[in-house]
Amino acid sequence: MKQKGNPYALSDDNKRYQTYNYYLRHRFGKKVFKVPLNVDLGCPNRDGTKGTGGCIFCSSKLSGDFAGNPCDDIKSQFCDIKEKMHHKWQEGLYIPYFQAGSNTYADVETLKGMYYTALGFENVVGLSVATRADCINEEIADLLGEIAEKTYLTVELGLQSVYDDTAKLCNRCHTYADFLKGFEMLKARGINVCVHIINGLPNETPEMMVNTVKVVGELGIHSMKIHLLHILKGTRLAKMYEKGDYQPMAMEDYVDTVCRQLTTLPQDVIIQRVTGDGAKSDLIAPLWSLKKFCVMNEIDKKMARENLWQGMNYSKEKV
């Protein structure tokens, strides 16, 4: 068995960090697909409960640009997207992924119905639920804890940054303390939590972005998604960009920042994503982000060139 503390401790290839694909293949013994779904539960940051207009970077599809059609039922969405995935991979197991919007933003009975419906599909081995931490309460946490005892459940919490000034500027309508409250309810029930962060948020320096990862890495998270801030048509961020009030990260700076972030995370944290791609038809900038695999390759090359690996600079001391 490979030991932790070396560049390839949790890798079967050239990756110097633990990928989600690696984790799933070793846990389940074969390829596992996440099948993105859209049940259109909305968001308290849009309907006036917490705020209006949503985050300055969020598209009208509530980050569900590649999810299913919310006009279709869950099973239809699941079958349609599953078949599209099989054009690339012949076989595998499935994790239904409630992706678009805040997927705990409903009453418990509604949530229970949609979660268990998805779990009932053939060859499903888990469930992923994307939401906001302020859409978690004790009753919902109990339901998620019940599901976590039956299957491989991951709750994905959008944090983006630990800095409250950044959250306010982005119209997140919640604080880091609010995030911690929801996170702790999940952690107390043994639920796997994946935290989403975004690099390139307005007024943030690379040092701030790295510190966000350091702080979150102390929490005992299951996994992390590292995103790049995309400027999409129809968003308030697009208006800021047009006025010259915001400039996106250059690819070189993004690659450097991600590499630094990875070195500060515990080696057992699963890295679900190191970049992302916005819908091509809606993307204004940065256009280099469309070459997702190129960005990933640049991260790999830099880590190899400078002999970096996930966790090498991780310290258990509080940051």
- In order of 201, 223, 227, 315, the CA distances from 198 in angstroms are 7, 14, 5, 22
Residue 59 has pLDDT above 80, yes or no: no
For 216, phi then psi, to 5°, come to -65, -35
Q: What percent of the chain has pLDDT over 90?
A: 79
Q: What is the pLDDT of residue 260?
A: 98
Q: What is the pLDDT of residue 66?
A: 63
Number of Cβ within 10 Å of residue 72's Cβ equals: 14
Mean predicted confidence (pLDDT) in 130-140? 97
Residue 3 has pLDDT above 60, yes or no: no
What is the DSSP secondary-structure string of the chain? -PPSSSTTTT-SSS-SS-BHHHHHHHHHSS-EEEEEE------TTTBSSS-BS--TT--TTTT-TTS--TTS-HHHHHHHHHHHHTTT-S--EEEEEE-SS-TT-S-HHHHHHHHHHHHTSTTB-EEEEEE-GGG--HHHHHHHHHHHTTSEEEEEEEEE-S-HHHHHHTT----HHHHHHHHHHHHTTT-EEEEEEEES-TT--HHHHHHHHHHHHTT--SEEEEEEPPEETTSHHHHHHHTTS--PPPHHHHHHHHHHHHHHS-TTSEEEES-----TTTEEE-GGGG-HHHHHHHHHHHHHHTT--TTTT--SS--
Q: What is the pLDDT of residue 280?
A: 87
pLDDT band for position 86 (50/70/90)? Answer: confident
Q: What is the pLDDT of residue 242?
A: 97
pTM: 0.94
Mean predicted confidence (pLDDT) in 61-70? 66
Beta bridge partners of 98: 37, 129
Q: What is the pLDDT of residue 315?
A: 79
Q: What angle is formed at CA 119 by the lines to CA 19 and CA 47, rounded to 5 degrees?
A: 85
Q: Which two tokens stand for residue 92?
A: 């595998």
Q: Which two tokens stand for residue 16?
A: 């110097």
The one-letter amino acid code at 97 reads: Y
Q: pLDDT: is 54 or 154 the higher one?
A: 154
Residues in the chain: 319
Lowest average pLDDT, out of 1-15, 165-179, 250-264, 268-282, goes to 1-15
Residue 288 has pLDDT above 80, yes or no: yes
Residue 247 has pLDDT above 90, yes or no: yes
Q: What is the pLDDT of residue 194?
A: 98
Residue 1 has pLDDT above 50, yes or no: no
Half-sphere exposure of 162 (CA within 13 A, CB side): 16
Contact status, residue 160 vs residue 197, Cβ threshold 8 Å: yes
Q: What is the mean pLDDT of the chain?
A: 92
In tens, the pLDDT along 93-128 reads 999 999 988 999 999 999 999 999 999 999 999 999
Residue 65 has pLDDT above 50, yes or no: yes
Domains and CATH numbers, the chain: 20-305 (3.20.20.70)
Q: What angle is formed at CA 154 by the lines to CA 150 and CA 160, rounded to 5 degrees?
A: 165
